[in-house]
Amino acid sequence: GQQVMQIPQYQHVQEGEDFTTYCNSSTTLSNIQWYKQRPGGHPVFLIQLVKSGEVKKQKRLTFQFGEAKKNSSLHITATQTTDVGTYFCARNTGNQFYFGTGTSLTVIP
């Protein structure tokens, strides 16, 4: 269907460890977006990936779009307590956007 599946649902890491969340679709995506939602906050746009095999970096965050454009990943290197929150991927069909269930990241100091 239209949903995107995200794994894992929860991740607890020690501060300084790396973290990866995966987003999978059964159909080819035109693009994929990533958002971060802090506890009690609202989603904040991080990035959009469009091209097959695309890799983008934002400081300690690395975003990848699969070659087949059916999956994407977000990797955080050396997590910090400020990385705490839920990370969502989102796909769109026209102007309808479908968010994944998110990966909730807890960073243990």
Partner 1 sequence: DTGVSQDPRHKITKRGQNVTFRCDPISEHNRLYWYRQTLGQGPEFLTYFQNEAQLEKSRLLSDRFSAERPKGSFSTLEIQRTEQGDSAMYLCASSPPSGTYNEQFFGPGTRLTVL
62-to-27, 40, 48, 97 alpha-carbon distances in Å: 23, 25, 12, 22
Q: Whose CA is closest to 13, among 88, 77, 91, 89?
A: 77
| Nearest residue (CB) to partner 1, 82 versus 96 | 96
| Nearest residue (CB) to partner 1, 1 versus 109 | 1
| Nearest residue (CB) to partner 1, 10 versus 18 | 10
* Residues forming the site for partner 1 (CB under 8 A): 31, 33, 41-45, 48, 50, 88, 90, 92, 94-102
